[in-house]
């Protein structure tokens, strides 16, 4: 096992500074390349070309359109997966972008939050859709691999494999790209991973988890009649009213809190109400309630569904005419390669403990390159729901992007944070490469 000294981590910082201009130009090109979910092909071409140019040992694309690049060290060490999703949300109305082109990748001096959001600073930023979610993240991670390649060329030997992965279709929130990559592509190629580092926005903090997210559809049933004679029918909307009241007054106040206080409380939001046939002169025979449920570790889509079913059963017991059901919503997702999946709208909650050996190694790594260590948790969901929530592999987030700018028309990334994120990611790999395989113990929650 190689133990790296101060001179190696000083070299990491030196190389990150040296590579920063090249990384910024690369991120600029990524922002200038639209990649809405299902339309990521052009972006993949840029990512593949950059890794080949930088000297990655292996680069490939899988059947779904995910891409993988690897830098190999000495045998016997861990494989650390670095992950970024390739899709982004729509820019929305260009008029809201305060004069910036959402696909311009413009670089200027602008006002931006500091690391801890305690002050506003004027520094150089790169602007455009995906700058904070997560076009810049590809640059951090791919150029962290470039730092390792340079170190190897300088004679510094490290164990294990640095594995960058770019996945399709993260934004629809079903983990379809990450799940296919791990469950199909990795198995076909005999690959595995010991831990994952996400590039989702963390403001240079270590992020250790987030709540889960499941979408439910409650349908209440009635019987149509002419709108002029509503008493001849059974109005499905009226049948939904006691269900809504029970959700608001009984279920929501009883939802749990994270016992450690790390994650926000579990929550439930009724976001869409619609009906069928949906014509002014017809009493509706179906009413649809779409709900967004945020879950905590220990909760599952089945336990949350049982809570909703209990409400339906209670309403049915007091109303002989009531009929209703609840299901987890699903959607058909089609990748740019033409592969289709019907997937549940469900993402698992997860947390990686602060005292997990991998978390400790990540913290030590950041300290080794002179970065302050602090911890956080995402308010939104990530593909960590697959690696940590399902696979139970230790997972952390480390990124120079800032969460408050994601999905907004002020989407941007500080270029000074790009350099720090490159150094931090490279040092995380080096410190993790010193760990023994058994230290990457599975998560429990």
Regarding whether 293 and 222 lie in a shared domain, the answer is yes
Residue 1 has pLDDT above 60, yes or no: no
Q: What is the pLDDT of residue 2?
A: 60
Tell me, what's the pLDDT at 400? 98
Q: What is the average pLDDT across 127-143?
A: 98
Nearest alpha-carbon partner for 320 in 265, 245, 395, 239:
239
Domain range enclosing 306: 212-332
CA–CA distance, 349 with 48 (Å, rounded to integer)? 32
Mean pLDDT of the 415-428 span? 98
Taking alpha carbons only, the member of 39, 17, 41, 131 closest to residue 406 is 131
Tokens of 416: 């000074």
Question: Is the separation of the CB atoms in 92 and 130 below 8 Å?
Answer: no
CATH code of the domain in which 142 resides: 3.40.630.10
CATH number, domain of 257, equals: 3.30.70.360
Helix ranges (DSSP H) in 187-235: 187-189
Q: DSSP of 66-135, one letter per residue? A: -EEEEEE-EEEEEEEEEEEE--B-----GGGGTT--TTT--EEEEEEE-TTSSSEEEEEEEESTTTTTTH
Task: Decide if 217 contacts 288 (C-beta within 8 A).
Answer: yes
**Mean pLDDT calculated for residue range 95-117:** 97
pLDDT computed for residue 337 by the predictor: 98
239, 324 in Cβ contact below 8 A? yes
Task: Look over the chain and give the mean of its residue pLDDT values, rounded to a whole number.
Answer: 97
Please say which residue of 306, 332, 358 terminates a domain: 332
pLDDT of residue 174: 86
Share of residues in the chain with pLDDT > 90 (%): 98
pLDDT over 70 for what percent of the chain?
100
pLDDT mean over 353-373: 98
Rounded to an integer, what distance in angstroms lies between the CA atom of residue 33 and that of residue 10? 34
Give me the pLDDT at residue 336, please. Answer: 98
Q: In the chain, how many domains are there?
A: 2
Q: pLDDT by residue (tens digit) across 299-358?
A: 999 999 999 999 999 999 999 999 999 999 999 999 999 999 999 999 999 999 999 999
Q: What is the pTM of this model?
A: 0.95
Q: What's the pLDDT score for residue 3?
A: 79
Residues 6+ apart with CB under 8 A from 344: 174, 301, 328, 329, 330
Beta strands in 141-285, from DSSP E residues, in sequence order? 159-167, 195-198, 206-207, 209-210, 212-221, 267-276
Mean pLDDT calculated for residue range 248-267 = 97
Same domain? 123 vs 182: yes
């Amino acid at each position: 096992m190689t133990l790296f000294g101060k001179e190696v981590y000083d070299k990491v910082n030196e190389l990150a500074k040296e590579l920063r201009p090249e990384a910024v130009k690369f991120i600029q090109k990524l922002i200038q390349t639209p990649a809405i979910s299902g339309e990521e092909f052009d972006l993949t071409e840029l990512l593949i070309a950059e890794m080949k140019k930088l000297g990655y040992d292996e680069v490939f694309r899988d059947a779904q359109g995910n891409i993988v690049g690897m830098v190999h060290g000495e045998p016997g060490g861990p494989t650390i997966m670095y992950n970024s999703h390739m899709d982004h949300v729509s820019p929305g109305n260009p008029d809201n972008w305060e004069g910036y082109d959402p696909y311009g990748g413009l670089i200027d001096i602008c006002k931006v939050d500091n690391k801890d959001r305690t002050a506003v600073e004027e520094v150089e930023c790169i602007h455009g859709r995906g700058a904070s979610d997560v076009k810049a993240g590809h640059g951090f991670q791919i150029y962290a691999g470039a730092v390792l390649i340079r170190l190897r060329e300088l004679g510094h030997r490290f164990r294990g494999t640095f594995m960058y992965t770019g996945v399709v279709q993260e934004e629809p929130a079903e983990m379809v790209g990450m799940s296919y990559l791990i469950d199909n592509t990795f198995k076909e190629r005999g690959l595995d991973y010991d831990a994952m580092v996400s590039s989702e926005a963390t403001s240079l903090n270590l992020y250790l988890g987030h709540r889960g997210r499941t979408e439910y559809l409650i349908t209440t049933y009635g019987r149509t009649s002419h709108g002029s004679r509503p008493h001849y029918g059974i109005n499905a909307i009226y049948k939904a009213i006691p269900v809504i009241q029970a959700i608001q007054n009984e279920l929501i106040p009883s939802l749990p809190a994270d016992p450690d206080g790390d994650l926000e409380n579990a929550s439930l939001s009724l976001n869409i109400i619609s009906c069928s046939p949906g014509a002014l002169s017809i009493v509706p025979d179906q009413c649809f309630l779409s709900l967004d449920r945020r879950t905590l570790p220990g909760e599952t889509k089945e336990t949350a569904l049982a809570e909703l079913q209990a409400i339906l059963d209670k309403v049915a017991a007091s109303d002989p005419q009531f009929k209703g059901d609840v299901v987890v919503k699903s959607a058909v997702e089609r990748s740019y390669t033409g592969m289709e999946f019907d997937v549940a709208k469900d993402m698992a909650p997860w947390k990686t403990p602060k005292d997990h050996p991998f978390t400790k190694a990540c913290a030590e790594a950041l300290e080794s390159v002179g970065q302050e260590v602090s911890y956080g948790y995402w308010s939104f969901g990530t593909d960590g729901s697959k690696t940590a929530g399902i696979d139970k592999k230790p997972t952390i987030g480390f990124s120079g992007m800032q969460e408050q700018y994601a999905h907004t028309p002020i989407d941007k990334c500080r270029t000074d944070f790009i350099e720090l994120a490159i150094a931090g990611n490279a040092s995380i790999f080096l410190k993790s490469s010193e760990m023994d395989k058994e230290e990457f113990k599975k998560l429990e929650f």
